[in-house]
Structure 1
Amino acid sequence: MRTSNHLIGLLNFLTFLLSVPILGGGIWLSSKANNTDCMKFLQWPLIIIGVSIMVISLAGFVGACYRNTFLMYLYLWAMFFIIAALIGFVIFAYAVTDKGSGRPVMNRVYLDYYLQDYSGWLEERVADDSYWSKISSCIRDSKVCNKMGRSVIDGVPETADRFYLRKLSPIQSGCCKPLTECGYVYINETIWNPGGALMGSNTDCAKWSNDQEQLCYACDSCKAGVLASLKKSWRKASVVNIVVVIILVIAYVVAIAAIRNNRRIDNDEPYGETRMEKARPSRIHF
């Protein structure tokens, strides 16, 4: 009789606990928001998601444990919208990341990234100046390029041949070094000289700077690297969301069973007894 109530209570207690680190991460980002635009860009989604999951889980937990029909109905409606939103996000994520990937380069393990390989809603948002100023600030403040440095001995940087064999992330390849076609000569991971080679025709070739605060943050290749990184992370998030949707659908079905169980108890119906049997009781009693 009470199995469904206990199960939905346990499920919501676990999701309530999971919402705590999500909310804590959003609050931490909020405390750092005055330092970088990147933090301002990320804080509110985490806080909203954390608070929503916490409130809904609490409502489902209390409703199941105390057989509160109102809270259970509220929980069902909220769960319905969350499931619909997650399904919508999965469809949206695959739709806006269906194009574009890195290009292989001869004698290099890493890939080069070109903005023209991408198109659609996500590309337009990333390439927009107002959005890009925040994104590039985020990349710069993360020190992702500074962390690329490796030394062989006594601070001597690794050789070009060893660097060419490194598997760089899309952001590292697009933002922290010039495109291979530009013909720059490797000095270390983030310092490249034109040397005697001819510059490529790509406009990014003239945008490269050895200034560690500039590098290729203004390059289209950097924007393409961000798009490639978003595509990878959104695809992973979509897989996680699919798993979460399956779990929430199971919880949703269990919640419906819990509500029916509560109604039976409230109407003083024994398990398996129908309303028709209650309306027409037998005339013969033993």
Structure 2
Amino acid sequence: MAGPENNTSNPPPESVALTVYEEKPETKEEIPDKAEPKKEIMRGVKSLNSKKVVLLLVLLTFLLSIPILFLGIWLLYIQQYDCEGLLKNLPRLQSGVGIGMLVIFFLSNAVIYTRAKFPAPGLVVIVILTILTLIVGLGILGDFKTETRRIVASPRWLDLKVHNRNNWNDIKLCIYETRTCKDLTSRSYMLDSNSVSTSNLSPIESGCCTPPSTCEMEFVNATYWRRGNKDNIDGTIPYDRDCDLWKNDETMLCYNCNACKNGYVKTLEGKWLKLGTFLSVMSLLLMISHLLLFVATMWEQYAG
């Protein structure tokens, strides 16, 4: 029997092992994103540009607040320069506006300092304050178109207060103590009558320190004039009572003249007209500056 021997002598065929590698597609993490560096560069450029814009707006807003600070200080501490403290209720109005200017200055810079943490609340506060300032400025400008005497600092109110005899006695003494006419004399010592009459005199200088031109007095110096001998026979020159009130005494001059009172009123009107214009313009500029700063701050935070 050879069966078993044959089975052991013929070995089974060798089995071949095949290993199949399945190729997997690369995942998104494994695929390099060529656009990512460009995005980072663009973000950096936007962030840099936003910081530059914010810095410029911060500087602009701060510079706009400086004149407001100076105005507040001037209204509070130099309000006696034009003897306005002698007019009832006018010092209160000046002090109120001056304090308001200081408040706006400090809050404006506080909003700038805290703009990153509280952009929206800071903007609301500044907008409210600038709107109130704009209303006050427009109100002062509107007073010059009214004829009521109840509004403080309006032309009608100023005219009545200045032409009050009791008020004027104190005002003319204050004008004298400010040495307005003495300063005019020292400035015009080497000038002739034509130079003095055509020079840029203030309303107070022309009304209180020199006689009216209709009096036709002979010039000696800015505050000393000789009366002429010309008679106004034909009546071509209207009579001016101020000609009789003029005195060469430096304590008298034309301080009792209507021209002096009108010059003083004109000075105050010009001051308050400029104040109303300043408040209106600066409130608008400051509001616009803070609005732009708010937008730039949002852009900076978004770009970062």
TM-score (norm 1): 0.62
What does residue 146 of structure 1 align with? 182
Partner of 2:249: 211
Report the counterpart of residue 91 of structure 1 in structure 2.
Answer: 142
Deviation at 1:220, TM superposition (A): 0.6
Please tell me whether residue 44 in structure 1 is matched to residue 95 in structure 2. Answer: yes
Match of 2:221, as an amino acid?
A: N
State the AA in 2 paired with 1:179.
P
**1:176 Cα deviation after fit:** 0.7
- Does residue 53 (structure 1) correspond to residue 89 (structure 2)? The answer is no
What does residue 223 of structure 1 align with? 261
Give the corresponding residue for 1:77: 128
* Matching residue of 2:63: 14
The yes-or-no answer on 1:182 pairing with 2:204 is no
Q: Which runs of 5+ in 1 are unaligned?
A: 98-118, 272-286
RMSD (Å) for aligned C-alpha atoms: 4.1
Preserved CA contact (<8 Å) 2:159 2:265: yes
- 5+ residue gaps, structure 2, are 1-46, 148-154, 233-237
1:196 maps to which of 216, 229, 236: 229
Structure 1 residues 115-171: Cα deviation after superposition (integer angstroms, max 9, x where no partner): xxxx7344223323455345434432332211222699xx7x544454444443322
128, 135, 160: which one aligns with 2:164: 128
Question: Are the counterparts in 1 of residues 137 and 277 from structure 2 also a CA contact under 8 Å?
Answer: no
Does the 8 A contact of 1:8 with 1:255 survive in 2? Answer: yes
Task: Tell me which of the two structures has the higher relative contact order, counting C-alpha pairs closer than 8 angstroms and 6 or more residues apart.
Answer: 2
Q: CA deviation at 1:212?
A: 0.9
- Aligned-residue sequence identity (percent) comes to 23
Instruction: Decide whether aligned partners of structure 1 residues 257 and 147 sit closer, same or farther in structure 2, where only a CA change above 3 A counts.
Output: same
**Any idea what SS the aligned residue of 1:186 has?**
strand
Amino acid at match of 2:175: I
Deviation at 1:25, TM superposition (A): 3.9
For residues 61-110 of structure 1, give each alpha carbon's deviation from its aligned partner in whole angstroms, at most 9, with x where no partner exists. Answer: 234243254444322222221122222223334x269xxxxxxxxxxxxx
CA distance in 2, matches of 1:151, 1:77: 47
Q: Which has the larger radius of gyration?
A: 2
CA–CA distance in structure 2, aligned partners of residues 134 and 16 of structure 1: 36
TM-score norm. by structure 2 comes to: 0.59
The residue matched to 1:82 in structure 2 has which SS?
helix
Distance across 2 between alignment mates of 1:168 and 1:209: 19
